[in-house]
């Protein structure tokens, strides 16, 4: 569960039961070859201790729901050579293309230091990701969201955003980043979202992004405002044990345990956060 430290951005594979807004395109199943490739990427030894969190993050089912295939151009937003990078880069390295999209450095909420870091992202990230994923740096393509090169604009099949929207929301750049992502997607391209989910009646102060939780209806409305249509939703990553009302936000839960040893057994029993899993299509 991401807690991005930025000043002001503080700083097998059977598909589950799905509820689709537009079944015509969202109900397509991942084919057997793609499912097998996802299985292999998830099972890879290089993931090591990451596999312990599969029980909460369901990577096979999530990528199948997002209709990811190994021959696609797949972008991971705010990629950090971490948990999903170790699955997505090897998955697409041979027949597709793995793209890392960094946060746009022109965002006014970013500190000068963070802007410099993000400006260097396209050149610095491939080597770091190569060490983490075992994929050659020449096969890892890194850009910032609002500066995708002309030859890649309109060519990305999937953009995947994992537990990151709250950071964009509280920094005031969610809309501008969605516009940049929209421009980078191929016609009919889709965005897959996994995000900590607040209760529908959560107070506004709790869903401003500072607690990590957002309302599902608000997320859908924001995407629709920026040129997307809801293609489907799934309860793959739901956790009904999470009350989603923690004073210290989502970081109260594992793996962060913001309260350290205070009630640790209680939060361990809850597990990771309740999460919405949404799929949006570019209009």
Single out the residue of 2, 60, 27, 66 nearest to residue 278, CA to CA. Answer: 66
Q: pLDDT tens, position by position, for the chain (283 residues)?
A: 554 433 333 333 344 444 433 333 333 445 899 999 999 999 999 999 999 999 999 999 999 999 999 999 999 999 999 999 999 999 999 999 999 999 998 777 778 888 888 889 999 999 999 999 999 999 999 999 999 999 999 999 999 999 999 999 999 999 999 999 999 999 999 999 999 999 999 999 999 999 999 999 999 999 999 999 999 999 999 999 999 999 999 999 999 999 999 999 999 999 999 999 999 999 9
- Residue whose structure tokens are 């997320």: 219
Give the residues across from 191 on adjacent strands. Answer: 159, 280
pLDDT of residue 21: 39
Q: pTM here?
A: 0.89
The 3-state DSSP class for residue 143 equals strand
> Tokens 């993050």 sit at which residue?
57
Best CA proximity match to 47, nearest among 74, 79, 82, 71: 82
What is the structure's pLDDT at 226?
98
- Give dist(CA 32, CA 12) in Å, integer: 10
Position 2 scores a pLDDT of 54
Give the pair of three-digit tokens for residue 40: 């292999």
């Amino acid at each position: 569960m991401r807690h991005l430290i930025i000043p002001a951005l503080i700083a097998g594979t059977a598909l589950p039961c799905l509820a689709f807004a537009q079944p015509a395109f969202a109900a397509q199943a991942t084919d057997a070859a793609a499912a097998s490739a996802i299985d292999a990427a998830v099972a890879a030894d290089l993931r090591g201790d990451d596999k312990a969190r599969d029980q909460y993050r369901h990577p096979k089912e999530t990528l199948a729901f997002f209709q990811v295939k190994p021959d696609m151009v797949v972008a991971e937003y705010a990629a950090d050579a971490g948990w999903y990078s170790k699955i997505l880069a090897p998955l697409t390295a041979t027949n597709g293309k793995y793209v890392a999209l960094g946060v746009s450095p022109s965002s006014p909420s970013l500190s000068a230091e963070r802007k410099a870091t993000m400006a260097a992202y396209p050149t610095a990230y491939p080597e770091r990701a190569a060490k983490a994923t075992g994929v050659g740096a020449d096969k890892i393509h890194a850009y910032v969201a609002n500066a995708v090169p002309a030859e890649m604009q309109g060519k990305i099949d999937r953009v995947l955003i994992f537990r990151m929207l709250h950071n964009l929301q509280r920094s005031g750049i969610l809309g501008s980043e969605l516009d940049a992502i929209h421009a980078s997607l191929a016609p009919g391209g889709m965005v897959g979202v996994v995000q900590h989910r607040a209760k529908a009646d959560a107070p506004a102060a709790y869903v401003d992004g500072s607690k990590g939780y957002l309302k599902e209806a608000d997320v859908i409305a924001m995407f629709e405002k920026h040129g997307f249509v809801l293609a489907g939703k799934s309860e793959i990553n739901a956790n009904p044990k999470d009350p989603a009302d923690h004073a210290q936000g989502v970081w109260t839960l594992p793996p962060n345990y913001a309260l350290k040893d205070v009630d640790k057994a209680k939060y361990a029993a809850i597990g990771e956060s309740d999460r919405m899993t949404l799929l949006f299509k570019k209009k």
